[in-house]
């Protein structure tokens, strides 16, 4: 799997899991949802993503994404 797909998969999973935890466990989990959203927003402006750096160091390959233009 390529880098951009991993980022989308992890970010989407974090959001879904944190919303479910916020609903069923404790409302403070919604802060994690907010954290993920803010990181996605800032990466769209700065082109810097911590998760991308972590995945690259873990050996995930960069590639072209079929959804990107």
pLDDT in tens, 8-61: 999 999 999 999 999 999 999 999 999 999 999 999 999 999 999 999 999 988
Whole-number Å distance between alpha carbons of 69 and 67: 7
Whether the Cβ atoms of residue 10 and residue 51 lie closer than 8 Å to each other: yes
Residues with Cβ within 8 Å of 30's Cβ and at least 6 positions away in sequence, in order, are: 18, 19, 22
Q: And the tokens for 19?
A: 């919303």
Checking if the pLDDT of 64 tops 70, the result is: no
Whole-number Å distance between alpha carbons of 33 and 64: 28
Checking if the pLDDT of 62 tops 80, the result is: yes
Q: What pLDDT, on a 0 to 100 scale, did the predictor assign at position 69?
A: 43
Q: And the tokens for 52?
A: 């991308």
* pTM, full prediction: 0.80
Question: Which stretch of 2-6, 23-27, 61-65 has the lowest confidence by average pLDDT?
Answer: 61-65
């Amino acid at each position: 799997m390529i880098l951009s797909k991993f980022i989308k998969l992890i970010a989407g999973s974090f959001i879904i899991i944190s919303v479910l935890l916020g609903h069923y466990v404790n409302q403070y989990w919604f802060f994690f949802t907010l954290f993920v959203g803010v990181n996605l927003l800032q990466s769209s402006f700065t082109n810097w993503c911590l998760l991308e750096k972590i995945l690259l160091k873990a050996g995930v390959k960069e590639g072209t994404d079929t959804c990107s233009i």
